[in-house]
Amino acid sequence: MIQVQSFTFNPFQENTYVLFDETRQALIIDPGCNSSAEQQILTNFIAQHQLQVVRLLNTHCHIDHVFGNQFVKDTYQVKLAIHPLDLPTLKSCKMASEMYGIKPFIESEPDEYLEEGKDAIRFGHSSLDVLFVPGHAPGHVAFVSQADRFIIGGDVLFEMSIGRTDFPGCDHEALLRSIREKLFPLGDDFVVHSGHGRDTTIGKERKFNPFVGEMAS
Ligand SMILES: [Zn+2]
Ligand SMILES: [Zn+2]
């Protein structure tokens, strides 16, 4: 069974996730740790729980989700996997950091590319499916545990909200399709661990989300 631990990091209040199972193998998803204090919180948790970090994943590469990429790669000697269509997003982070006045920003390179339906992400006794859910970012993916009924959803679907589509590379219609055609069919009982804010469920959002739920159409 996968345990999901979240941390809220950086000025954008981004949720960073550590997933691990009974084998103590762990994944880090969207490491937003930006200060040495935040880096310490992450490494302390991993040390205290005696976790072996085996892989680093990004749901998408907006700056708030990738601040800690290089730190995690260096600290745990793991590979970074992203969707290839989000490489331009990753490459634009340096510019974004200057625009937001956040310095220094350490750039990172992906080592592996994710693709929907190709290989599941395996760690310990567990696995996650990769779902391609573009719209908020061109190469946005979600990670789905069928066994434990949850989604690490990044910035696609939030409690009573959806991802912004006013950045370059965004596509509002694609975002709505991603939610309605990829996430909602997973099932109402799925818990959504979002990139910002509190957890929600597919059932709650399918019924009540003001942007994409039944009330919206
Ligand atoms: Zn984002
Ligand atoms: Zn975000």
Q: Give the pLDDT confidence score for residue 119 in this predicted structure.
A: 78
Closest by CA to 143, choosing from 59, 47, 37, is 59
Which H/E stretch holds residue 8? strand 3-9
Ligand closest to 136 (CA) is 1
Q: Find where tokens 């599941």 sit.
A: 120
For the purposes of burial, counting CB atoms within 10 Å of the CB of 104, is it exposed (0-12), middle (13-18) or buried (19 or more)? exposed
Domain boundaries defined on the chain = 3-208
DSSP β-ladder status, 3-9 and 14-20: antiparallel
8 A C-beta contact, residue 111 and residue 54: no
Which H/E stretch holds residue 207? helix 202-208
User: Cα(195) to centroid of ligand 2, in Å?
Assistant: 6
Helix (H, G, I), strand (E, B) or coil at 35: coil
User: Cα(186) to centroid of ligand 1, in Å?
Assistant: 22
Ligand closest to 140 (CA) is 1
Beta strands in 30-167 (DSSP E): 52-57, 80-82, 112-113, 121-123, 126-132, 141-145, 150-154, 157-158, 161-162
User: Cα(117) to centroid of ligand 2, in Å?
Assistant: 24
Q: Where are the alpha helices (DSSP H) in 49-156?
A: 63-66, 69-76, 87-91, 93-100
Cα separations in angstroms, 205 against 135, 155, 170, 210: 18, 14, 21, 8
8 A C-beta contact, residue 42 and residue 27: no
Ligand closest to 194 (CA) is 2
pLDDT tens, N- to C-terminus, the chain (217 residues): 999 999 999 999 999 999 999 999 999 999 999 999 999 999 999 999 999 999 999 999 999 999 999 999 999 999 999 999 999 999 999 999 999 998 789 999 999 999 999 879 999 999 999 999 999 999 999 999 999 999 999 999 999 999 999 988 899 999 999 999 999 999 999 999 999 999 999 999 999 999 999 988 6
User: Cα(154) to centroid of ligand 2, in Å?
Assistant: 7
Q: Give the pLDDT confidence score for residue 40 in this predicted structure.
A: 98
The CATH number of domain 3-208 is 3.60.15.10: yes
C-alpha to C-alpha distance for 157 and 127, rounded to whole angstroms: 22
